[in-house]
Amino acid sequence: MVKTKKLREPLEDRKGSLFFDGVSVKELAQKYDTPLYVVSEKRIRDNYNRIYDALIRNYKYVRLYYAAKANSNLAVLKILQSQGAYLDTVSPGEVFMGLLSGYTQDRIMFTGTSVRNDELKVLADANVTINIDSQSELDRLLKIAVPPIVSVRINPEIGAGHHSHCITAGPDSKFGLWAEEAIQAYAIAKRARVERFGIHMHIGSGILEVEPYVLAIDKLLSIAKRIHEEVGIEFEFIDIGGGFGVPYKPEDKEFDLLEFANKVVAPFKAKVAEYGLGKPFLCIEPGRYLVCDASILLTEVNTVKVTPSKKFIGVDAGFNTLVRPTMYGSYHPILVANKLGVANKETYDVVGPICESGDALAKDREMPAIEEGDLLAVLNAGAYGFSMSSQYNSRPRAAEVLIRQGKSFLIREREQLNNLTANQRAAD
């Protein structure tokens, strides 16, 4: 359990009770029930400003594309749109959500993989920037329409990430084109009379070290130089992807934005000048970094079970609500929201209601003595929390609330049992 003395905004200890962005989480649970995702608007804005200010210091032309897959709630999308963010999407659905949230077509980029023809038609009609992931995708797109701008996703052969499933570059990755393929793709696009170009890479997610970016960007820029010289095109933007990690475990360090600015952004500026690449926009795609610590998951204890070998805390949130611990073995800090000042005395597994042994939010956690009715707050739940949730075991999905200036607003209604049968039809 995270010690209360280390609580940082938007978390606050008020006489042993947890407040989130100035609001009592106990009162939120009583008003909206649990499990409940709680989102801080202020924290999202602060995170955006922090990363933007760090990057703009060393290079004037910067665009932040929010990776919508981290959290695609309309309220979250609108907050970041109002901050000036662009939008990184991976499906026509996310493009639809972006347009609905006020992003203009020129501020949306689609980076998909295994893209269907009908999806390409939707994207071409929407006139968003398409980031090509394969030669096949480019060939099929050009038969549908010749877009005004095309980008190609490069595999720089260097990958990194907090889990093998989150590494998106390197020899085993399904994503992107390798250098020789990419050169051919740009030549084909130019012959098809595409007029504007970008170039893109993404090496992974949950990265806490700067060094992988240093190596990968150096490789990307060398490829961009070859394309510029051999194909004769200018790049409107160079997108280096996202993947900035956040500290989940107590021993994790924060991603060093100043080091990133000095070791990546400043050399980027020098290299593009040296290579004659003009003044392209430097695009970065933070997702987790912007929303992760801006949300918590509230879940109530309904069962305390003691066996000869374990003590279990049964809560009403399972891997249908937050799948990361089961899928990735991920660690999420957990606070007993109504007992912040109570010393840790017991070791528990925190388990959910799903009928599988893998349904655990935490294992072997030291906590105060837990009673049924206690309220737990699972921290760092804003990224890939609700967006990866499901109706598994026929359980309706959780509600979401937004905290803005000390007030709470329901931004997603809790699903009810009748939502489970939506769009189903019984055969005659």
Helix (H) / strand (E) containing 48: helix 41-56
DSSP reduced 3-state for 65: strand
Angle, to 10 degrees, between the axis of helix 74-83 and the axis of helix 41-56? 40
Active site residue 283: no
Interior angle at CA 337, CA 332 and CA 341, nearest 5? 110
Q: Using CA atoms, how far apart are residues 257 and 377, in angstroms rounded to an integer? A: 28
Q: CB count, 10 Å around CB of 134?
A: 20
DSSP reduced 3-state for 142: helix
Task: Please list, in sequence order, all residues whose beta carbon lies within 8 angstroms of the beta carbon of residue 304, skipping any fewer than 6 positions away.
Answer: 311, 312, 313, 314, 370, 371, 372
Interior angle at CA 62, CA 57 and CA 63, nearest 5? 140
The residues that bridge with 39 in the sheet, in sequence order, are: 295, 402
What is the rounded radius of gyration, in angstroms, for the C-alpha atoms of the chain? 23
Q: Using CA atoms, how far apart are residues 366 and 357, in angstroms rounded to an integer? A: 21
Which of the following is catalytic: 166, 283, 292, 355? 355
Q: How far apart are the first and last CA of the chain?
A: 53
> Are 206 and 254 a contacting pair, CB within 8 Å?
no
E-strand stretches of 212-336: 237-242, 281-285, 295-306, 311-315, 334-336
Provide the greatest CA pair distance for the chain: 72
The catalytic residue positions are: 355
